Amino acid sequence: MSEELEGNCLVAQSGGPTSVINSSLAGVVAEALNHECIGEIYGGQNGILGILNEQLVDLAAESQQTVRALRHTPGAALGTCRFKLKGQQDYDRVLQVFEAHDIRYFFYAGGNDSQDTADKISKLAQERGYDLRVIGIPKTIDNDLVTTDHTPGYGSVIKYIATTVKEIACDNAAMGQYDLVQIIEVMGRSAGWIAAGAALAKPRDEPNAAPHLIYLPEVAFSAEKFISDVQHVLQKEKYCVVVVGEGLVDADGNYISTASADADAFGHSQLGGAGEYLRGLVEETLQIKARSVSLGMSQRAAAHCSSQTDNDEAYLAGQAAVEAAIAGETDKMVTLLRGDGETYTCETGLAPLSEIANGVKKLPESWINEDGVSMNFNFYKYALPLIQGEVQVPFEDGVPSLAKLKMVKVPRKLGAHTFE
């Protein structure tokens, strides 16, 4: 047991939100209140960007009711960002803010790039001799973080997608004679975890049910094979439902969705358009009616259709982050570890931030059937436990009642930051 470190804690959120990222925030706040060595509980507005601007809020000022309501509230309650620290001046500023507010515990909820940022901050603090414990909290709907069995946010996004695909298929079954092909585009820039989740809409004893075809970034796309696949389905069924991941690539590794894509601060292509591309192929080649729909941000914001299992594990990850830091751990990320038994169980572990930063966990090829457009039993066994249970979202006047933080500002102690 490490010597107890006294000081304040800071939690921030980064990258694209999920429907359960605020459950991790609630876990951090609830657990931090249990430890006398933690003085103030601060939140950073808009991730690392808000920390640079010394925009901190007092989370201890929030009511217990509001903290509990975070568990069924989508988005990132503290605000988020896609900002990359650009140089030594930015890193120095982060430590200056930490020192000014006696931040000794830093919890950062985010994906690959966010964990890289946390890792660099932790190592700089060690170099400078500043006593700081940094713990990353896993967060991404993409499910592509290495070292963890799965990530909070994934179970909920695939529950929503499988539900939506199943409902859209009912519409297509009724309108199949008019709209022969329905293409549904989902998120997933570098890995096909999200698109694969659509397979859960298909009952195991109904192999011909929708979705009929799933196209993953892990399988090189061929326009000729795609058209052949669609024709094959339409020979047996009166309609065809296709799910495509936005990161679909051809045999040369080029994105098929767009000729030129903008990039974010970390150099990642901002994709979109794969569904429209496939719709055009169908209509031009087969001369039949096709529709395309992109599920967009609704995938990561649908708290009303989120997984209770996912929600509970997100909360657990927030709690575990605080517990690990109090115990003396630093420069680690909380991981989710699946039990070996037949009945699904999950507990938390820790992994070095340096092992997570900028890594990508691909969907195993052995989980994809030989046809390249459907998933086998291994994926179902992996994914089904993650979507179990329904979060009971309270409604008011017919719409969800969601948490809204008071965002009580912490007085600034430093001057404005100069960005490079």
Report the candidate in 243, 247, 240 with the shortest Cα–Cα distance to residue 184.
Answer: 243
Burial class (CB in 10 A: 0-12, 13-18, 19+), 99: middle
Report the candidate in 142, 136, 197 with the shortest Cα–Cα distance to residue 18.
Answer: 142
Encoded tokens for 153: 């946010």
SS (H, E, C) 245-269: ECCCEECCCCECCCCCCCECCCCCE
Beta carbons of 297 and 285 less than 8 angstroms apart: no
Q: How far apart are CA 189 and CA 78, in angstroms?
A: 25
Question: Residues 379, 382, 386, CA angle at the centre, nearest 5°?
Answer: 125
Q: C-alpha dihedral over 80, 42, 116, 420, to 10 degrees?
A: 70
Report the candidate in 350, 333, 366 with the shortest Cα–Cα distance to residue 108.
Answer: 333
Report the candidate in 214, 137, 244, 251 with the shortest Cα–Cα distance to residue 379.
Answer: 214
Residues forming beta bridges with residue 103, ordered by sequence position? 8
Q: C-alpha dihedral over 308, 139, 149, 112, to 10 degrees?
A: 170
Q: How far apart are CA 193 and CA 170, in angstroms?
A: 24
Using DSSP's 3-state secondary structure scheme, residue 332 falls into strand
Which residues form the catalytic set? 142
